[in-house]
Chains A and B, each alone.
Chain A
């Protein structure tokens, strides 16, 4: 009996979705397809068996994706989703490759998987004045719940970030200042509600609030697929109220990643992680109130590129002295839309 083939046919698919600037639509389509098929996303290349690249990559980003691919153990397959409407077909094809034992046998030739090698960067004083070893650790561009195209070159001691430098990848392929929301051909309000829900979903996933995160993703997909507003109001209001009133989230997120007013943040990014989460949850609900109307957009300044520019300029200051977990939550709560930066001069 062919045990390998039998197991291969039953193997659960674990996708690792790599977001690429300009590929938001592809990413959303890929995430939706994976979710409805019951493919839970992997946290690392070691766990993944399907690499999904959502968008067109170039140069340094291409090299980073290739490194991730090299570090994935067989059986494995990859799907490049250049256009959202091809997502289902590409994922089908990749799944077939994954379950094909003949093709997988050829995959399993490389033996050493070059992981992210930590690099010593000498020693320095930590935040309590002790001399400790430092490591240089790049965060991104392939990391769960991480903004597309962002790389933070950090110096860490233990799990405390001493110093961070921003690099942006993959902006060459983006065709001029695409805002997040034209996806799906819906109204701006639908796009905005989806954007808020997407931010909340990443943030809640990192906070470990799995149920609320999954609900946010389902609502996001429903909003973008054009489900009538009347059907969405109830579930969205319940979700939003649940997130805003949850006392465990309040205890865990309050006081984290504070953005003080002297940094002159865009109004919707002020406060701590909890304040931003609550603000986005409320804004998603408000955007839904008249989903298919035009008019002023709640919860965003409307200048995505300005917000993203402020975020990448301020991140190094916000991250110095921050613990890794807090840093991840902070970045997710600011959720800069890197692809919006193509229209302007980038000064990381």
Chain B
């Protein structure tokens, strides 16, 4: 009983705050409304006892939204930041996409013959899910992880506009790097 109440609260909250994202006129409010929407979403994940995933969604979403809001306020504006701005762009197109996606998903829920299982629920669904996903493919996962990490490092190296040759000279001959702010660890 209480689970149903909580589910509907979370569902209504997620949709309500999701709508609020486009109703408020400030970048910060929009971001935090979006964050609230994600947190309500995390509530539903917690309801199906995927504790780890639920808590992780809370953790990651807060971090991501806070970092996003800093970037939003600093970069993406005129006239956002400290001033109000509208979050609405390309209204007709986005309305069509949203309605289409909603119709597709709802149709999916009602039309697909979802399988049911008679097997007992595992004690720790997160662990079971993890093993089912990763167990037989651990090597693939490890390689994927390495590839991802290498991609991140490579992206940063390509994106930085001051590498070690700029800091230490073309032959790395300087003792002290030439930095905008001098000093730091070991210098």
Chain A residues within CB distance 8 Å of chain B? 118, 120, 123, 127-133, 135, 157-158, 251, 253-256, 258, 272, 321, 323, 326
Contact = CB atoms under 8 A, between A and B. Distances in A.
Contact of B78 (A118, A133, A135, A258): A133
A133 B77 contact: yes
B115 interface: no
Interface in B46-105: 74-75, 77-78, 81-83
Contact of A120 (B74, B83, B181, B184): B83
B171 interface: no
Nearest to A274: B183
Nearest to A256: B183
Given A120-B82, A128-B161, A129-B161, A256 B75 contact: no
A255 B161 contact: no
B82 A118 contact: yes
Given A251-B183, A253-B183, A255-B183, 7 more contacts: A120-B83, A133-B78, A251-B185, A254-B183, A255-B182, A272-B182, A323-B181
Nearest to B184: A255
A326 B82 CA distance: 24
B118 interface: no
Contacts of A251: 183-185
Contacts, number: 40
Contacts of A157: 74
B180 interface: yes
Contacts of A256: 181-183
B107 to A, nearest CB: 44
A305 to B, nearest CB: 30
B183 A133 contact: no
A123 B78 contact: yes
Chain B interface secondary structure, helix, strand, loop or mixed? loop
Contact of B75 (A120, A132, A258): A132
A245 B70 CA distance: 38
A132 B75 CA distance: 5
Interface size classification for chain B: 10 to 19
Contacts of B181: 255-256, 323, 326
A52 B43 CA distance: 52
A207 to B, nearest CB: 13
14 contacts: A118-B82, A120-B81, A129-B161, A133-B77, A133-B81, A251-B185, A254-B182, A254-B183, A255-B183, A256-B182, A256-B183, A272-B183, A323-B181, A326-B181
A326 B77 CA distance: 27
A330 to B, nearest CB: 11
A323 B179 CA distance: 13
Nearest to A323: B181
9 tightest CB-CB pairs across the interface, nearest first? A255-B183, A255-B182, A254-B183, A133-B81, A158-B74, A132-B74, A133-B77, A118-B82, A128-B161
B16 to A, nearest CB: 31
B187 interface: yes
Nearest to B183: A255
A268 to B, nearest CB: 20
A128 B181 CA distance: 13
Interface in B161-187: 161, 180-185, 187
B83 to A, nearest CB: 7
A327 B145 CA distance: 42
Contacts of A131: 75
Contacts of A253: 183
A129 B160 CA distance: 12
A123 B161 CA distance: 21
A254 B183 CA distance: 5
B81 A255 contact: no
Contacts of B182: 254-256, 258, 272
B71 to A, nearest CB: 11
Nearest to B161: A128
Contact of B180 (A123, A130, A272, A321): A321
Contacts of A118: 82
A255 B82 contact: no
A263 to B, nearest CB: 16
